[in-house]
Amino acid sequence: MVNEPLYSLRMRAAEGRAHEDGGLHISGGERLSTREELEEAVSALLRKALHHSRGTADFINIAIEKVAQEEIPVLAPLPISTYCTTSVQAGRKQAADLLRQSSVSDAAIERGFEILTSSYNLRGAVLLDSQSGERMDTRGTKGVRVSRMDWERMSHAIWKKRQPLLESVRVSEAVALATKVASAAGTVAELCWSDDPEYSTGYVSSPTKGYCRIFHLKEEGELSGGRIFFVTAETNIADYIEYLEKMPVWIG
Ligand code: WAQ
Ligand code: MG
Ligand code: MG
Ligand code: MG
């Protein structure tokens, strides 16, 4: 994997019309791929766009860019824990506890929940000041889309063997994303639940707590969802976004 050319792939799909023209966000995805694996990676992203519970993709954009080939850091995946809560109320309370333990203020936690419960068409993440709860990016519903991360193939196979209950692509993708976010200077914690109606397990992650899966962060059938990245007040937001969008990293 070391000296082959690498490509970043980014997919976004919307219903009705393109995102920028007001379409409904259906699905997105990001990969890092060697030239040899490029066709397979494009097909996988296309499949993801075409078969989605949020709706029918009428607009699909797949961007492929060669990535500058320097030493690419390898990040160890965050350790996983699972909270088997039995109601949305208990799940959200658990999430709030974990965020508090990661040093996010009550005001910021409340703001984070307000945003996720009322977002039905968020394509990326919202950045919030972890103390004041103030929004730190100016991206609107586009948000900040973390890109240029992927599992290193061999490590992924080993990791999956060790977690037989978590073999879904969804979990692998979420752990990879959360690991990159936790590695960014300025990240205090992340809160996420899917905008897919059938998937109600979400997570809180942070450099100190790892990746904490929580059953039931929303009711099944709901289209709300998204991601909140809580950051320290001193974070240089332009540098922070640059790292998340542009810096290639392997998870492994
Ligand atoms: N960068 C930033 N935000 C993103 C990205 C990204 N690359 N991908 C998705 N999001 C945001 C965006 O607002 C989506 O609407 C939202 O997250 C949800 O994305 O059982 O499936 O892909 O351990 O629907 C987490 C729990 C599943 C997995 C999350 O999210 C588990 C999930 P989805
Ligand atoms: Mg996803
Ligand atoms: Mg539809
Ligand atoms: Mg989704």
Render pLDDT for 218-236 as a digit per residue (tens, 0 to 9). Answer: 999 999 999 999 999 999 9
Domain residue spans in the chain? 6-67, 74-251
Model confidence at 3: pLDDT above 70: no
Nearest to 110 by CA among 124, 125, 129: 129
Report how far residue 239's alpha carbon sits from residue 220's, in angstroms, rounded to the nearest whole number.
Answer: 37
Complex-level ipTM = 0.97
Q: What is the mean pLDDT of residues 60-68?
A: 96
Nearest to 101 by CA among 121, 71, 81: 81
Q: What is the mean pLDDT of residues 64-82?
A: 93
Residue nearest to atom 23 of ligand 1 (CA): 171
Residues with CB under 5 A from ligand 4 (ion): 195-196
Residue nearest to atom 13 of ligand 1 (CA): 226
Q: Give the atom of ligand 1 at the shortest distance from the alpha carbon of 170.
A: 21
Model confidence at 70: pLDDT above 90: no
